[in-house]
Structure 1
Amino acid sequence: MRVGLSDLDSHTSTYESEFFPLDRSIIGRAPVGVSALTKNKATPMDLPSGSTVCFLIQREAMFGDSVGGRITSQPNAEARSKTLFLSANTCQQPSPGVNKTSAPQLILLVSNSSESACQNPSKNSEAKTFTEGAVTLSLNMTGDLFVGISAPNVSTDFRGGYNFEIGASPDDFLHRYEGEDRSELLWMDSDSTSAILATRNLTEEESEIKRVMDEPLPYELYVSNVEASSSVGLRHSYCGLRNTAQIRASQSSNNEANSPVKTAMTRRGPGGFPKQQFHFVSLNSSSKYTGILVKKAREDGLDKRQDKAADLGPGSIVFRATDFETISGSSCKIVTDLEFCNEIQYAVPGNDQRFNNTGLGKAYDDYARKMYANFEKVMMQIPCEAPRTSLYSLARTCDDCKAAYKKWLCTVIMPRCEDFAASSNRFAKARNVGQAFPNGTKLARDVRLSLEQDPASNSSRNKFIDQEVQPGPYKEVLPCEDLCYEVVQSCPAKIGFKCPRPEFPGFETSYGRRDQDPSTVSCNFAGEARTPINGGSALLPELRQAAGAALMATAVLVMWI
């Protein structure tokens, strides 16, 4: 008897199975050549094109309850039904020939009849085709099932066969693809040869931070140039990505001598919450890449999100791809992992004729530390250890002031840089237009003359950049205005920190505003990603309201180093 598999368009689809009224000793006996799937264990297998392989899923093996006897009524069957999660991934597919067409996808067949699912798949009118090398199906299981994996015939242009793995679980899918609208992986920034990507926060619970930071890295990342075709047809498959991606980032790849990527946990960004960072080097310039994040299955079969969301089961999860790209010019260079300005992880004005990325970061970091030392001398005049009733504020402390000033200082000393020629960001400000590029060339005369009329475009934000780095022309993503307001709010009024109003001269060349355009970076702060983050502005509601009050109360002074 054939099992109906209609309305199975999503992985949450279900159907009620109907079984022969036969003794389980007959149904539970696998036919010759049919293997039984093991609970919570993926089974790998080679499969030539044009063939079908069959598996038996035994209800008792999945749920541990032996019903026995005869199934005499449909109500009894419905009462005993339990949800089974069935999934499969294509690990290898035939390689295309000269036409470069990707191989057809495998097909999943499910029935309570070995003939329908295994011996004569064409009789099974209901089937589910893999998508990008992955398929999932949830079933209300009232008895044993037969599952077939069928490989289509391919032309002689293709070489090799298929390899796949299949698994069944009463808990959740052993293979899952999450294609939600939002990306779990964020592109932070890049230069001509380097890029930084990071996951979203793994937890926002203060009590969970230490535990999450101490655990093994939860993610792997698979990256390929968009022009590479090896992963086409396998982009939802964990094992397919492992076999075909050009670059793999994982805990084990950190120990590989020639690996172009290092990954580690970090707390950079708003809130200081844990996330996993991926730092790539030795990429090709002017190239586009696709990164696919995978959450590994835990060995103990228990896998819960760090933020205590719903249990995601015992298996791996492939997330929606994140695109990123490198630039062509050398005036912007990625810096990260700095000792003093430890929140910085983006491209800053650079010059590869004078500094490599590490040396550039150290030069900026040393200069920021030197400038901060001057601020500390000022803070020594503030009675920070006085009784609370005698302090300059009941809401803020000297530690709050120091933290706000350091965050602001590092952001303005290390402005976020975009390639002058490639940047189309309408919020980015042209800088240093009269200086030559590191290779000795200059901007075209007509471009230079039009921009030189604006004094703020003739130099960088601070003299250190023009004198020590000498990056040539670039564009700066201005720091967010609330970084300035936070300093004013957090520090003693006697120090005299003030911020410019948006309608006054100097503001438009000094600061930017958040959320002006969700498709681009409208202003810079530590942890701002190039990948749009829905709802990211919600992190600062109180600061924005208070900043507005501070803005109205201050005189005009551009904080310029």
Structure 2
Amino acid sequence: MQPSQLQSRMAASVMTMMSLWLLFSWRAVALDPQGLLNSQDALTASESLGDEGFGDMPGDVSYEADFGLFDRSIVGRAPQSLVVLSNNEPKALNLQAGDTTCYKVEKKVIFGDNAGNGPRNKTIYVSANTCQQPIYTGQAKGRAPPAPQLMLRVSNSNEAACQSSVKDGINFREGAVTLSYNATDDTYIGIIAPNVTSEFQGVYNFEVAVSLDDFFHRYESRGGAELLWMDSDSTSALLVTRNLTEDADDVSRIMAQQPPYELFVSNSESTATDGLRHSVCGLQNTAQIFASSAGSGAINSPYKTGLTLRGPGRLPKQQFLLVALNASSSYSGTLVKKANATNVQKRQQDERGGPGSILFQATDFQTVSGTNCKVVTDLEFCNEIQYAVPGNDQKFNNTALAKAYDDYAKSMYENFEKVMMQIQCEAGKTSLYSLARNCDDCRTAYKNWLCTVSIPRCENFGSSNPFAVKRNAAQAFPNGTMLDEEERNKLEPFVSSQTSRNKFIDSEIQPGPYKEILPCEELCYEVVQSCPAAIQFNCPQSGTPGFEASYHGRERNGSTVVACNYPGEARTPMSAAQRIVPDAMLLVSGLGVAAAWALR
């Protein structure tokens, strides 16, 4: 049967189209005989993240759209499409294991009005965070492994960035990656999810952003810890940031703002944060405690946060008081500066500001087993106190305990004020007791000393701290138990171990046996240096029995062991440049003792 005229024309058209397709397909391959792997794109990995090298790309991958309201049988597999990214506007997406999705940054976003004017280049900052990852459901021996990390690819070629045939890329590290890229045209960003075994269930979810200013997602590990572990007891811990500014003229402005930081806290035994420790959204989805100023102070809230001037320099810091923790447990706290809080200037010129959030190196801390040391802070009079003190949970909660100590110290200070009334504090400079110090300096130094010695820093009796002194061994613990007889007999010859530093603790608080971290010796020397000789305040000489039972020098070997107590002394080890630097010590000779109105 002969084909009709219409059928003949259709056959001819099909043959012509196939010939053209073969012709241009061959020409396209001939233009790049080495394939897409020879791209000469200039990629510069960030120093802080994303420098683990390149990983293998899974084969035959494509983006599969995820629509929660529709069944996959209706939606089908969506073809890979380009999502356009704008400056400092992050995009989030679900991604199945083995799939790839692609983004485009148009040259008009990069170059603005100069997008069409000849050759040009500009550095753009690409960053991404993993917000969710497949969960291991297999039977692991020991700690369950996290899912493999996502991969980032950036190029001025759609094919090089987004096609499955290209193997190169930069692996995320702990759920985060950053890459600075020298853009000369439209730029393409590929996010690749690795294939996983059947033991992993669930999808990846990530957030990606491009910025012309700086990385939108940042992980900051340089410069030491930003969050300091001050102290803890069996159920609570106190954490404080470093100074928010070093500029005294900026204090009022910062104290009037909302606290700039949020905090993620997880028990170290938890595996939920594994693989996501450098990701803000990842920690927000997995951390056991998320502490922010918005939820601070709520009923049954496991934390309280706010700004404070306690500590070195009387400069602004943010404080986090965590409660309802588990005893004898290790935790990790990760500080994040919120995206809308980067305008807070830190240390005069904040070189770490940026358009998005900044995640800081985690700070590890522990709770203790004993219950007769309690963390107190926010005292009205002794406002520099922020550590664990001898306590008794049978008589006081932490708030009532703090008030009891504060009232006691305040009553002792009244005796000092009576002595100071005899000093001519308002006299002219030529008549003052010192050209370098005045009565206000004396009051400050004495108050610091008084609060530290009347509210001692406490550790469990079983603490391994070699610098801590055993106290109150003859008294029963709050639960009625005693130290074993052998231990009591061994300590009986040592008077300083039988009772506390002052009678108020033994009679009113009744904490039972504990160890005291002695005050730093410069606290005593600063009173002598700052106050008139007429008040007859003296310090015991170093090396004498009176000194050994009352004070200690500073010794830090990079551990969390505190050798002596000074206002603002953190457990987190810091470099010498970050340490609290008190006034130069005045070494006092002789075996002096404090005046009759002062504590020993």
SS class of match (2:339): coil
C-alpha distance in 2 between matches for 1:44 and 1:203:
34
Residues 238 and 320, structure 2, Cα contact 8 Å, conserved in 1: yes
C-alpha distance in 2 between matches for 1:7 and 1:402:
57
Superposition RMSD in Å: 2.1
Shift of 1:427: 0.7
- Report the AA paired with residue 57 of structure 1: V
Partner of 1:337: 378
1:459 corresponds, among 492, 499, 502, to 499
Residues 4 and 126, structure 1, Cα contact 8 Å, conserved in 2: no
- Report the AA paired with residue 282 of structure 1: A
- Report the AA paired with residue 429 of structure 1: V
SS class of match (2:136): coil
Partner of 2:148: 104
Question: Are 2:211 and 1:174 equivalent residues in the alignment?
Answer: no
Q: How does 1:367-386 map to 2 (within 5 A)?
A: 367-386=408-427
Residues 11 and 138, structure 1, Cα contact 8 Å, conserved in 2: no
Q: Structure 1 residues 11 and 287, CA, compared in 2 at 3 Å: closer, same or farther?
A: closer
Q: How big is each residue's C-alpha offset from its partner over 1:497-522, in whole Å with a ceiling of 9 and x where there is no partner?
A: 00011122211110011235442211
- Report the AA paired with residue 338 of structure 1: L
C-alpha distance in 2 between matches for 1:5 and 1:235:
29
C-alpha distance in 2 between matches for 1:322 and 1:262:
18
Structure 1 range deviating more: 482-491 or 173-182: 173-182
Q: How does 1:235-250 map to 2 (within 5 A)?
A: 235-250=277-292
SS class of match (1:523): coil
Residues 297 and 303, structure 1, Cα contact 8 Å, conserved in 2: no
- Report the AA paired with residue 213 of structure 1: M
Residues 84 and 105, structure 2, Cα contact 8 Å, conserved in 1: yes
Partner of 2:335: 293
2:461 corresponds, among 401, 420, 425, to 420
1:252 corresponds, among 294, 297, 311, to 294
SS class of match (1:298): helix
2:312 corresponds, among 255, 261, 270, to 270
C-alpha distance in 2 between matches for 1:13 and 1:281:
35
Shift of 1:90: 0.4
Partner of 2:593: 557
Residues 50 and 173, structure 2, Cα contact 8 Å, conserved in 1: no
Shift of 1:365: 0.6
2:450 corresponds, among 402, 409, 415, to 409
Q: Structure 1 residues 453 and 407, CA, compared in 2 at 3 Å: closer, same or farther?
A: same
C-alpha distance in 2 between matches for 1:355 and 1:271:
32
Partner of 2:71: none
Partner of 1:39: 87
Residues 454 and 599, structure 2, Cα contact 8 Å, conserved in 1: no
Q: TM-score, normalised by structure 2?
A: 0.84
- Report the AA paired with residue 437 of structure 2: R
Residues 234 and 327, structure 2, Cα contact 8 Å, conserved in 1: yes
Shift of 1:83: 1.0
Partner of 1:58: 106
Q: How big is each residue's C-alpha offset from its partner over 1:462-498, in whole Å with a ceiling of 9 and x where there is no partner?
A: 0000111111111000001111011111111011000
Residues 192 and 285, structure 1, Cα contact 8 Å, conserved in 2: yes
Partner of 2:163: 119
C-alpha distance in 2 between matches for 1:159 and 1:258:
34
Residues 12 and 138, structure 1, Cα contact 8 Å, conserved in 2: no
Partner of 1:195: 237
C-alpha distance in 1 between matches for 2:366 and 2:534:
46
Q: Structure 1 residues 303 and 4, CA, compared in 2 at 3 Å: closer, same or farther?
A: farther
- Report the AA paired with residue 547 of structure 1: L
C-alpha distance in 2 between matches for 1:151 and 1:60:
29
Residues 304 and 311, structure 1, Cα contact 8 Å, conserved in 2: no
1:396 corresponds, among 431, 434, 437, to 437
Q: Structure 1 residues 467 and 219, CA, compared in 2 at 3 Å: closer, same or farther?
A: same
In structure 1, the gaps of 5 or more residues are 15-30
In structure 2, the gaps of 5 or more residues are 1-35, 52-78
Q: How does 1:155-554 map to 2 (within 5 A)?
A: 155-180=197-222, 182-254=224-296, 256-298=298-340, 304-305=345-346, 307-310=348-351, 312-421=353-462, 423-519=463-559, 520-535=561-576, 539-540=580-581, 543-544=583-584, 546-548=585-587, 551-552=588-589, 554=590
Partner of 1:19: none
SS class of match (2:542): coil
Residues 303 and 314, structure 1, Cα contact 8 Å, conserved in 2: no
Residues 476 and 482, structure 2, Cα contact 8 Å, conserved in 1: yes
C-alpha distance in 2 between matches for 1:302 and 1:369:
39
SS class of match (1:164): strand
Residues 203 and 307, structure 1, Cα contact 8 Å, conserved in 2: yes
Q: Which protein is bigger by CA-based radius of gyration?
A: 2
Number of aligned residue pairs: give it: 528
Q: Structure 1 residues 62 and 11, CA, compared in 2 at 3 Å: closer, same or farther?
A: farther
Partner of 1:10: 47
Shift of 1:9: 6.6
Q: TM-score, normalised by structure 1?
A: 0.90
Partner of 1:24: none
- Report the AA paired with residue 36 of structure 1: V
Q: Structure 1 residues 302 and 202, CA, compared in 2 at 3 Å: closer, same or farther?
A: closer
